[in-house]
Amino acid sequence: MNNEEQPLHIKEEEGDTIEIWLTKEKTPAAYERKKYELIHKSGMTEQEAEEHIAHIPIVLEVFYSVDQGLFGVKSEAIASCKIYNPYSGEEIPNDNLI
């Protein structure tokens, strides 16, 4: 089986999601970048940013590309922009885009 037999296609009724919880211990690089974003781009204090990260997970849509691998895309992006397969560089048809 290859990608031509099981092509990726984003549809509203499909999609597997996972929640990612960033922590200083397990995901230090991503944690610091998210905290920076919240402080410098959203205007939160350091304490507010840390509370936000502790209580609100990042939701990812996960996709499996046959013969290539698994990848995730932040759920918010699915409805607002084109998504590309990181392995092949091909755009994934997306029924959620208006």
Site of tokens 């998210």:
34
> Quick check: 3 and 66 in contact, CB under 8 A?
yes
Convert the pLDDT of each residue in 53-87 to its tens digit.
999 999 999 999 999 999 999 998 998 899 999 99
Domains of the chain, by residue range, sit at 1-20+58-98, 22-56
First-to-last C-alpha distance (Å) of the chain? 31
- Residue 11 CB burial class (10 angstroms; 0-12, 13-18, ≥19): exposed
Characterize the bridge pairing of strands 16-20 and 58-65: antiparallel
**Whole-prediction pTM:** 0.80
